Copies of this chain bind each other. A is one copy, B any other.
Amino acid sequence: MTSTIEYLRNNYLRNDLLPSIFCPGCGNGQIINYVLHAIDELKIPKNNIVLVSGIGCSSRIPAYFDTDGIHTTHGRAIAFATGIKTTNPKLDVIVFTGDGDLAAIGLNHFLQAIRRNIDITVICINNENFGMTGGQASPTTPMGSFTATTPYQSIEHSFNLAFLAKTAGAPYVARWTTAHSREAINSIKKGLKKKGFSFIEMLSPCPVSGKRFKSSHEYINYYLNNSIKYSDKFRDETSSHLFSSLEECFITDHEGKIIIGEIVDIDKPDFHVLYKKLKEAAKNEFWKSRQ
């Protein structure tokens, strides 16, 4: 009898590419694990899946899946995905993106796809730095961090991507860390089922470039002990970590708790439904004008 994990690997992954190029303890592997569970539990046919990514360590994820996949250019994954999903709305399109790919160079496409409510699932592997290029600050790097480009500490505020997604109008938004395996799998499943844009932000270890900790288990430990569930009581929509008020990020040490949980879960017509209706209206008008 094959174990679940062996079955998942054999059934969904390109085994000849394993082990991955990811560093020991890298969270990208955990994301693969969680997405596989989600896909399998939902019984999504492999032929129906298209995985899209930009550039970065996390963007190398699709290569490992034995499905259609497209590793695009830095920051543009969601724009590619928009072309793919709109021309074949039946596909299950999942975007893998890093915090640099999504929140630095690619932020615009992210928010515009949310605005259009394109029915894709975007998973941001937020390791709070540019992993692939060697640990530079990203827009989600907590203020005060030492990185390769902030040798005297970062003085830039960071984005809370989940809250930006909410404000832009995403119907499903969740935020977890890789320590929250089951919750992450469930959110990915919900995201895949959601009609419309779904966004799952995953705080993820990068022990090699990010270097907050030297090894993954320290991250996992930190995540488990320093996260707090989102609720109306604990919301500060301007920071990726939790502060009871904006000022707190200046008076306390720079790291608050990590907000996790489901941030949005609403229903809202997606682009594809509306476009179909639009076409009907357009055709109707055409024939009327030709009468």
A interface residues (Cβ-Cβ under 8 A, vs B): 104-105, 107-108, 111-112, 115-117, 139, 151-153, 155-160, 163-164, 166-169, 237-239, 246, 250, 266, 268-269, 271, 274-275, 277-278, 281-282, 285
Contacts and interface: CB of A to CB of B under 8 A. Distances in A.
A153 to B, nearest CB: 7
Contacts of A117: 157
A111 B107 contact: yes
Contact of A275 (B108, B155, B239, B246): B155
| Closest 8 A/B residue pairs (Cβ) | A155-B274, A169-B238, A108-B108, A167-B167, A152-B282, A107-B108, A167-B237, A116-B156
Contacts of A168: 159, 164, 238
Contact of A139 (B115, B152, B166): B115
B116 A167 contact: no
12 contacts: A107-B108, A107-B112, A108-B108, A111-B159, A115-B139, A115-B157, A116-B156, A116-B157, A155-B274, A166-B237, A246-B268, A250-B269
A111 B160 CA distance: 12
A104 B278 CA distance: 22
Contacts of A238: 167-169
Contact of A156 (B115, B166, B167, B246): B115
Contacts of A275: 155
A115 B282 contact: no
Contacts of A169: 157, 238-239, 246
A271 B156 CA distance: 7
A216 B213 CA distance: 60
A276 to B, nearest CB: 10
Contacts of A266: 246
A281 B269 CA distance: 52
A58 to B, nearest CB: 19
